[in-house]
Homo-oligomer: A and B are copies of this chain.
Amino acid sequence: MITLGQALNRGLRAAMTRDPRVVVMGEDIGRLGGVFRVTSGLQQEFGADRVMDTPLAESGIVGTAIGLALRGYRPVCEIQFDGFVYPAFDQIVSQLAKMRARSAGRLALPVVIRIPGSGGIGAVEHHSESNEAYFVHTAGLRVVTCATPADGYTMIQQAVTGDDPVIFYEPKCRYWDKAEVDEDAPLAAAPALHAARTVRAGRDLTVLTYGSMVRPALVAAQIAHEEGRSVEVVDLRSLAPLDLPAVLSSVRRTRRAVVVHEAPTTLGLGAELSALLTEHCYLEMEAPVLRVGGYNIPYPPARAEERYLPDADRILEAVDASLAY
């Protein structure tokens, strides 16, 4: 049994061992091993040239990572907290995401940007944001997130292996979750990086979620089960591109869908999923797609976050509403 943090650490170690072009960079990720210790021990093992403590500048981190990628390296950047990715927004949106198209396909930027995201740990402002929608709306980026140690271990390796830029969200409230991880299983055997996964099968309704919300969704499904309703839970894993076939095959069966995420609902991922389901299986649905998300306000002070974040109760409320439709 290892934690998600340890799984990510081992996944990074495996990726660095496999390919000498993989370098890790960010604030306090070297000697300290990162504020969440995800890169712990890597600098001792691979040296300060491959595990670089950088100056305190996010635009600089992503901008120089782009330069390193142009030189043939495969940088894995850490943004210390979700709320600190914005200074790098131009480098991510205008440079990282678009360089391939801007260069008519001549330039590839295999850069991974790790972001400890979402809330639930009682942190101060800027440390609990779910800003994935900004990047999902940006053409040219892959956006993924892991909900379990096993996924953390494989997905970070797959992200590093691909030739497209990847925004890699790690649900910080799950860093300490423990589970078995088979480190010997061949990476090729793992589900593709863009593939969603059904984490609980059900017949009456599909809950579409990812990252930190997978667990409360499963709790809600269990409660629903005890109340005699069969709820399927799909962990999207990849937010861009979306695994639409998987989503459709589940919802076409259950004919009802609830989308759950921490991000504010307005133009949160739930909006896109609702629109896609309306476009693709309008006649098959028996109820409107319902969204359970963060409220459309800035993330509240820590002592109010429990009421801000979706939980099993709020998910069940939507499940009931959908089933009662």
Contact = CB atoms under 8 A, between A and B. Distances in A.
Interface in A16-71: 59
Interface hub of A90, A125, A133 (most chain B Cβ within 10 A): A90
A296 B86 contact: no
Contacts of A97: 298
Contacts of A222: none
A286 to B, nearest CB: 10
Nearest to A95: B86
State how many copies of this chain the complex holds.
2
Contact of A133 (B140, B267, B275): B267
Interface stretch (A7-15, A153-161, A224-232, A287-295): A287-295
Nearest to A279: B288
B134 A296 contact: no
Nearest to A86: B90
B297 A290 contact: no
Contact of A87 (B90, B133, B139, B279): B90
A272 interface: yes
A240 interface: yes
A83 B269 CA distance: 23
Interface of A: 59, 83, 86-87, 89-90, 93-94, 97-98, 101-102, 125-126, 133-134, 136-137, 139-140, 240, 263-264, 266-272, 274-275, 278-279, 282, 287-291, 296-298
7 contacts: A86-B93, A101-B297, A139-B297, A267-B269, A267-B271, A275-B291, A279-B289
